[in-house]
Structure 1
Amino acid sequence: MPLIAQEKEKPERKGNKGQLYISWGWNRAHFSDSDIHFKGDNYDFVLRSVEGNDRLTPFKYEDYFKIDRITIPQTNFRLGYFFHDNYTVSIGVDHMKYVMKGYQYAPIEGTINAGTEFDGVYTGEEIRLTEDFLTFEHTDGLNYVNVEVNRFDNLNTLLNFDTDFMDVNITEGLGAGIIYPKTNATLFGGERYDDFNVAGYGFSAKVGVNLTFWDHFFIQSDYKIGYIDMPNIMISNDESNGASQSFGFFQANITFGARFQLFHKDSKQD
């Protein structure tokens, strides 16, 4: 007697439109070498091909999970909305950290006439970036405050992954926003400056994988590339002194989040 095979019923996929989501996580960042231009009343010079790195906070529970300390590491926050089943718009803050590598040698061009041992006219010779010459970092935040539009696609059918507890998704998108750093800088061994200001702008593109569990909780890993231009970096309380810098960046992050239906579709009346 032949057996009648029944096709397994596939889980019903819910639409994403109308959902709100929020996420928090951490990043590692890498930066291209950059030229840094310093200009003030008594100096105007450029450091060429300066190397900078991020600063990873060693893992401690209180630094990564206590509410009053969770911005100490390099973090990512995002709040978004599905305006279509496959598209989201979101606002977020990528809290990266940039540290100029100390004691490196860099070509210098320009003039310094500030009554220091570094006074002179420079035409491309190398100078060692010692602490008594320059410390320069955006460690209380190379903050990229940005808006993103992303596409969001479910891969369960493509992967033949039939389950009702987990969705495998791919996401990609574009973003742009302002750079709002807190720059820590000392020049020629002078007074340290440490304050927030809007220094410039950035734009980025990303691709990521999202795993959503039970329709509401997710883990997402993204790779992001972008460009940052900061023509208005404050390095002292005197607004006549400033710096400018631009560079590319690559970011890898992992975030955890939740999503829920904000608006429900109206049921049609018969």
Structure 2
Amino acid sequence: MKFFSFLSLSGNVKFWSFVFFCFLLSLPILGEDEKSPVPLSISDRKGRWNIQWGYNRSSYTQSDINFRGPGYHYTMKSVDAKDKPEKFNPSVYFDPTKFEIPQYNIKFTYFFSDRFFLSFGQDHMKYVVSQGQSVNYAGYIDPLVVAKNQLAISMEALPFIYLFPEHVAQMAGYHGGEQTIQLTPDILKFEHTDGLNLLFVDFGTITPLWTAEDGLSGLSLISSIGAGAVVCRSDVRMMGKGQNNNFHLSGYGVSGYVAGRYDFNRTYFLELGAKGGYIDLTNILTTGGSNRASQNFGFLELVFSGGVSI
């Protein structure tokens, strides 16, 4: 818990991402220690570490988002969301100080036998509730909450409040779940874009599919299962009011991973895989104070990564 408290207080994800990247670049040099035994083939994995970095595209199932705070408690049902990949730009993807901007994956793996391993790392996904969709909602919102939020309106919500003042006003009162509302910036902006960070520990196995005669290259199948904490930085606007919150321990996730892997020169490898799982966010920061949200959903990542074996 001390580690997560540190994340929450410092928000220093950029620093640690940079440290991890620099460490990754140094590994080929570290791996040249003359005292380290040289494996005969890529199948000799026991006692070795793998470090890899990659990028992902993610998709999510619909989810019910529950909002609660002084004067309100309501749920938006079957909400759609998508990821937010960074467009390819060499100044971002090839700049070590900006490697945390895209949707990235970092993983450290230790092989305690030639076939079995433990790994830990971070999946940095991004989650954005789609604007323009219509959703049902149920619960209660005090009319004073709606009015109070208009006193701290965000710039992106201001045009909607001015042009369509009755849109947000219909949120006030009791709602049984049959009412439908269109999600526009005056109603809801809800994003985990800095991001939706799954900090995982996995147990897995590697199964050789083909190995070259010289043992220096080959194809393998990776499979693993795991779980971990989810740290979010959530940007939320509710009925016009909100903020981009600090990093915060928000929930947990469980997952399974399958990938094809190509090793070459006993040191380097490429991996293409898919990770699917379930995330339960029980403590999402929203508009400050005691205001919170919660949700759960399934996710699927397509991950491409590369790394080194030492």
TM over 0.5: yes
Aligned to 2:166: none
Q: Contact conserved, 1:184 with 1:195, CA < 8 A, in 2?
A: no
Q: Contact conserved, 2:68 with 2:292, CA < 8 A, in 1?
A: yes
> Which moves more between the two structures, 116-125 or 196-205?
116-125
Counterparts of 1:164 and 1:84, CA distance in 2: 18
Aligned to 2:265: 214
> TM-score, normalised to structure 1's length?
0.88
Total equivalences in the alignment: 246
The answer to whether structure 1 residue 225 and structure 2 residue 276 are counterparts is yes
Q: CA deviation at 1:128?
A: 1.0
Aligned to 1:264: none
Match of 2:306 among 245, 256, 261: 256
Match of 1:38 among 57, 67, 78: 67
Larger Cα-atom Rg: 1
The answer to whether structure 1 residue 101 and structure 2 residue 101 are counterparts is no
Q: CA deviation at 1:163?
A: 4.4
Q: CA deviation at 1:80?
A: 1.2
Question: 1:134 is matched by which residue type in structure 2?
Answer: L
Greater share of helix? 2
Pairs within 5 Å for 1:184-223: 184-223=235-274
Deviations 1:116-173 (A, max 9, x none): 323121112111111011100000110000001110122226xxx5344312111101
Q: CA deviation at 1:12?
A: 5.5
> Which moves more between the two structures, 27-36 or 107-116?
107-116
Q: CA deviation at 1:193?
A: 3.2
Question: 1:224 is matched by which residue type in structure 2?
Answer: K
The answer to whether structure 1 residue 140 and structure 2 residue 194 are counterparts is yes
Q: CA deviation at 1:75?
A: 0.3
Please provide the CA RMSD for this pair: 1.4
Aligned to 1:5: none
Q: Contact conserved, 1:193 with 1:237, CA < 8 A, in 2?
A: no
Query: Residue 93 of structure 2 aligns to a residue in which SS?
Result: helix
Counterparts of 1:101 and 1:54, CA distance in 2: 10
Counterparts of 1:35 and 1:123, CA distance in 2: 15
Aligned to 1:234: 285
Counterparts of 2:204 and 2:80, CA distance in 1: 32
Counterparts of 1:62 and 1:84, CA distance in 2: 40
Q: Contact conserved, 1:90 with 1:147, CA < 8 A, in 2?
A: yes
Match of 1:122 among 175, 184, 191: 175
Counterparts of 2:97 and 2:59, CA distance in 1: 27
Match of 1:151 among 178, 188, 205: 205
Where in structure 1 are there 5+ consecutive unaligned residues? 1-10, 261-270
Query: Residue 63 of structure 1 aligns to a residue in which SS?
Result: helix
Q: Contact conserved, 2:86 with 2:101, CA < 8 A, in 1?
A: yes
Counterparts of 1:229 and 1:205, CA distance in 2: 16
Q: CA deviation at 1:56?
A: 1.2
The answer to whether structure 1 residue 170 and structure 2 residue 199 are counterparts is no
Query: Residue 72 of structure 1 aligns to a residue in which SS?
Result: coil
Change in 2 beyond 3 A, CA 1:63/1:33: same
Deviations 1:219-246 (A, max 9, x none): 01111110000011111330x2100000
Counterparts of 2:128 and 2:187, CA distance in 1: 15
Counterparts of 2:56 and 2:173, CA distance in 1: 41
Query: Residue 256 of structure 2 aligns to a residue in which SS?
Result: strand
Match of 2:231 among 155, 180, 186: 180
Query: Residue 211 of structure 1 aligns to a residue in which SS?
Result: strand
Identity of aligned residues (%): 34
